[in-house]
Amino acid sequence: GAVVSQHPSRVICKSGTSVKIECRSLDFQATTMFWYRQFPKKSLMLMATSNEGSKATYEQGVEKDKFLINHASLTLSTLTVTSAHPEDSSFYICSARPSGGVTGELFFGEGSRLTVL
Amino acid sequence: QQQVKQSPQSLIVQKGGISIINCAYENTAFDYFPWYQQFPGKGPALLIAIRPDVSEKKEGRFTISFNKSAKQFSLHIMDSQPGDSATYFCAATFGSARQLTFGSGTQLTVLP
């Protein structure tokens, strides 16, 4: 299947700093990418839909100024957690939908574990 | 309307047994139903998926059964192996953006 690479896989930062997570589709172009947040032993919670060349669409309750999403190319979307606080500690996962894909398949990255001290 | 309900929350099966996980949905606009497998610390991986025009799909030891009238679908894992121990999520999609609505997950443990 298609490969989605997410980096970094783990990051530890101090409270108040900003952290950037990258999501790359390695062997396909993705017009649309999705960002999820997952708490321990819980399901994935959609945070936002990232569309190449346009502003991201955020789910209700997700602060767009807190979680900055940029989808500048067809293979790269970034999530920046600004002024991170301990409550932002979580597992963040991206997924990508191949452009022109008709099956509805989404391919997921390996996830990024953020720990804010 | 957008919710997908998944059960059981956890499941313990002996090696060689059949694991069955069930999901139910309300929104009849859903038109694609994938199952994902997730190991600890990893992202979900697509396992198998079905569309509503088919009542069953089988890939190796994994089978999806789909009941459109009951708005239910289930994952059957035949000859379950310890390596199948993971969390399984059912999901459904609707709309042009194809965003996924996930079930709550089932933690499967296959005992050796």
Q: Distance between terminal CA atoms of chain B? A: 40
* Contacts for B69 with CB less than 8 Å, ≥ 6 apart: none
Does residue B79 contact residue B19 with C-beta atoms inside 8 Å? no
- The verdict on whether omega for the bond into residue B82 sits within 30 degrees of 0, i.e. cis, is no
Q: What would the pLDDT profile of B57-70 be if each residue is shown by its tens digit? A: 999 999 999 999 99
- Spatial distance between the Cα atoms of A87 and A107, rounded to a whole number of angstroms: 27
Instruction: Please state the rounded mean pLDDT for residues B35-45.
Output: 94
Q: What would the pLDDT profile of B78-103 be if each residue is shown by its tens digit? A: 999 999 999 999 999 876 566 788 99
Of all residues in chain B, the one with the smallest CA distance to A30 is: B97
Does residue A31 contact residue A97 with C-beta atoms inside 8 Å? yes
Chain A residues with a Cβ under 8 Å from any Cβ in chain B: 1, 4, 6, 32, 34, 41-44, 46, 49, 57, 91, 93, 95, 97, 103-111, 113
- Spatial distance between the Cα atoms of A52 and A70, rounded to a whole number of angstroms: 8
Chain B residues with a Cβ under 8 Å from any Cβ in chain A: 31-32, 34, 36, 41-46, 49, 89, 93, 97-100, 102-105, 107
Chain B residues inside the 8 Å CB shell of A106: 34, 46, 98, 100
